[in-house]
Amino acid sequence: MATTQTLTPSMKRERRASLRRNVFYLVLIAIGLVAPFVAYPVFLMKVLCFALFACAFNLLLGYAGLLSFGHAAFLATGGYVTGYLLASYPALTPELGMLIGTAAAVVLGAIFGALSIRRQGIYFAMVTLALAQLVFFFYIQAPFTGGEDGLHGVPRGHLLGIVDLRSNLAMYYFVFAVFLFGFALIQRTVHSPFGQVLKAIRENEPRAVSLGYNVDAYKLVAFILSAGLAGLAGSTKTVVFQLASLTDAHWHMSGEVILMTLLGGVGTLFGPVVGAGLVVSLQHLLAQSPLGNWVGPILGVIFVICVLSFRSGIVGEAMKMYRKNFK
Amino acid sequence: MTQEFILETRGLTKQFRGFTAVDDVNLQVREGHIHALIGPNGAGKTTVFNLLTKFLPPTRGEILYRDKPITGMKANEIARMGLVRSFQISAVFAHMTALENVRVALQRPIGTSFHFWKSERTLEHLNERAIELLDEVGLRDYADVLTMEMPYGRKRALEVATTLAMNPTLMLLDEPTQGMGAEDVDRIVELIRRVAKGRTVLMVEHNLSVVSRLCDRITVLARGAVLAEGDYETVSADPQVREAYMGSEAAIEEARA
């Protein structure tokens, strides 16, 4: 063999597939660039923020096999910290505010992770839920969050002190760039040496231990990454909507992100994006229709149908069908 | 007597809520031996095994590896020292190819396993070594196959290849032939004999014919305590062992024949 590296046929196939995937990504990016001229930018930004949130959650559930029931805490922390800083210090540029908000979520993620990562299955979910509730009650009481009223009038400011984000179009492209960054980071993480170990741990944890891996440390890193990206989603959302509220910290939000991820397809890269798009669109459409009060039950029914009839979610099922028919 | 024993236990005891599963076990595994741990059901073999591999903490007693106490160490730490275990149910990574299975074991020492920002293609220089290891257990043609699609016997062989990737000095095998057909058993016995060269093996095994063919030394456990120890001839002639194995005495005769 001419090369120094040995590649098996499946790896060569994988290389060709990755070329096709890159073309697919380019098409999607093009769609994303044109989208604000077709649809309402604020709506698109909401979809992108929740898509990033769901992707962050999926990194943990889909690739590390950990079901967190407390991810609202990270979304809210990113949002509140960024919102408070930008509202109080007008000199601060939005990207710095978002950076600090994300950093706060990373720190919170490290604390949550350190306390919960040794627990398995349902106990892990319970510990994360309890911690997130603690954070929720803290935000109700804390003076800087505006309690039940929320934090209003966060200025969008000028990106890097130059680009005026008051324009929805400029804001949209910034949000799109943030989303792409988050998505690319997750994609890379999944297909990295770290991702390989994570996969091994998910497949057979005792075996990974017997190969010398300190599995808790790997899970903790995945948890912190996920928390940080959820915080980034929250920070971005706060800048877009110029407010941070208790809705983001409520356990409903932790549930909603599970719903989005499962609906779209857990453990697939695009599943959470599709799931978030679907849930946000439905909420948006139903809120305007006479069925406005029925958003919850309707989403519930869709969720039940989804879980019962196509378990791997929309993207998961589509991929299965593709493999069956085209390979 | 230093260095004579690679693994030693002193007064190893494990109690579960008052029930003594392992009672004052003194085990000595000689360097280079294939050592078997046998005994009737419920004798505590698997518990001893889990204590040795640190998957369970002992209630009392000491475990020494090359005369160094390892009692307080973690499971992943002793694996790095070269004490690598296998599992009763084949322990493979089902949604990964055979090659990737072995590569996971090879990648830890290169120190990039926490690097989530690097491409997994940075691991491709390990492929050659992984294929060599697969070749060693007769799985070269399976390199590209998803492990879940492999037959059971092949999965067990893959497990051996993955274990070998750790370059173990002491292999701890938990019932390596469990659930196998006769043909697969023969293949695994040959494989163990081959890979045991230059290494020490401690195995829990039910199949006495496997034990008689393979092992240099045997420890018999009954009710959590050591009942007898010696080579196969000594142990199988021991009246106490025969009594403990009552009902399966036929099995002993059969294995001898």
pLDDT tens per residue, range B83-95: 999 888 778 999 9
Tell me if A13 is assigned to some domain.
no
Residue B85 touches partner A, C-beta closer than 8 Å:
yes
* Average pLDDT for B10-32: 90
Count of H helices and E strands in chain A?
A: 13, 2
Contact residues on chain B for A7, CB-CB shorter than 8 A:
124, 127
Tell me which residues of chain A have a C-beta less than 8 Å from any C-beta of chain B: 4-11, 185, 188-189, 191-197, 199-200, 203-204, 206-215, 217-218, 221, 225
Tell me if A291 is assigned to some domain.
no
Q: What is the pLDDT of residue B3?
A: 58
Tell me if A91 is assigned to some domain.
yes
Residue of A nearest to B145 (CA): A10
Q: What is the pLDDT of residue A60?
A: 94
Structure tokens at A158: 């000028």
Q: What share of chain A is helix, strand, coil (3-state, %, to 5)?
A: 80, 0, 20
User: pLDDT at residue B251 above 80?
Assistant: no
Q: What is the pLDDT of residue B256?
A: 57
| Spans of all domains in chain B | 1-82+168-257, 92-166
Q: Name the pTM for this structure.
A: 0.87
CATH assignment, B1-82+168-257:
3.40.50.300
Tell me if A84 is assigned to some domain.
yes
DSSP state of B110: G
User: pLDDT at residue A215 above 70?
Assistant: yes
Tell me if A22 is assigned to some domain.
no
Contact residues on chain A for B108, CB-CB shorter than 8 A:
197, 211-213
Contact A210 B79 (CB under 8 A): yes
Contact B123 A4 (CB under 8 A): no
Q: What is the pLDDT of residue A327?
A: 59
Q: Which of A210, A219, A312, A319 to mutate to test the interface with B (most CBs of B within 10 A)?
A: A210
Percentage of chain B lying above the pLDDT 90 cut: 41
- Under a CB-based contact definition with an 8 Å cutoff, are residues B229 and B219 in contact? yes
Report helix angle A271-288 to A41-64, nearest 10.
140
**How far B155 CA sits from the closest chain A CA (Å)?**
13
Residue B185 — very low, low, confident or very high, per pLDDT cuts 50/70/90? confident
Using only the alpha carbons of chain A, give its radius of gyration: 20
* Average pLDDT for B124-130: 90
User: pLDDT at residue B156 above 50?
Assistant: yes
Using only the alpha carbons of chain B, give its radius of gyration: 19
For residues A303 and A126, the model is more confident at A126
Q: What is the pLDDT of residues A181-198, one digit of tens each?
A: 999 999 999 999 999 999
Residue of B nearest to A216 (CA): B76
User: pLDDT at residue A1 above 50?
Assistant: no
Q: What is the pLDDT of residue A302?
A: 83
Q: Which domain holds residue A175?
A: 38-253
Residue of A nearest to B77 (CA): A212
User: pLDDT at residue A2 above 50?
Assistant: no
Q: What is the pLDDT of residue B2?
A: 47
Measured distance CA(A2)–CA(A12) in Å, rounded: 15
Q: What is the pLDDT of residue A159?
A: 84
Measured distance CA(A239)–CA(A102) in Å, rounded: 13
Residue A157 — very low, low, confident or very high, per pLDDT cuts 50/70/90? confident
Tell me if A310 is assigned to some domain.
no
Query: CA of A29: how far to CAs of A24, A35, A97, B254, in Å?
Result: 9, 10, 26, 70
Contact B76 A5 (CB under 8 A): no
Residue B206 — very low, low, confident or very high, per pLDDT cuts 50/70/90? confident
Contact residues on chain A for B88, CB-CB shorter than 8 A:
none
Q: What is the pLDDT of residue B1?
A: 44
Handedness of CA A231, A235, A240, A245 (dihedral sign): positive
Contact residues on chain A for B93, CB-CB shorter than 8 A:
199-200, 203-204, 207
Residue B88 touches partner A, C-beta closer than 8 Å:
no
Interface of B with A in 150-209 (CB under 8 A): 162, 166
Contact A192 B100 (CB under 8 A): no
**How far A93 CA sits from the closest chain B CA (Å)?**
27
Residue of A nearest to B167 (CA): A211
Q: What is the pLDDT of residue A7?
A: 74
Residue B255 — very low, low, confident or very high, per pLDDT cuts 50/70/90? low
Contact B108 A194 (CB under 8 A): no
Residue B140 touches partner A, C-beta closer than 8 Å:
no
Structure tokens at A77: 């922390």
Q: What is the pLDDT of residue B238?
A: 84
Q: What is the pLDDT of residues B59-81, one digit of tens each?
A: 999 999 998 999 989 999 999 99
Tell me if A156 is assigned to some domain.
yes
Residue B242 — very low, low, confident or very high, per pLDDT cuts 50/70/90? confident
Task: Report the number of distinct structural domains present in chain A.
Answer: 1
- Under a CB-based contact definition with an 8 Å cutoff, are residues B22 and B44 in contact? yes
Summary mean pLDDT of chain A: 89
A/B interface, count of CB pairs below 8 Å:
124
Tell me if A320 is assigned to some domain.
no
Contacts of B35 (CB under 8 A, 6+ apart): B29, B200, B201, B202, B203, B215, B216, B217, B218, B219
Percentage of chain B lying above the pLDDT 70 cut: 94
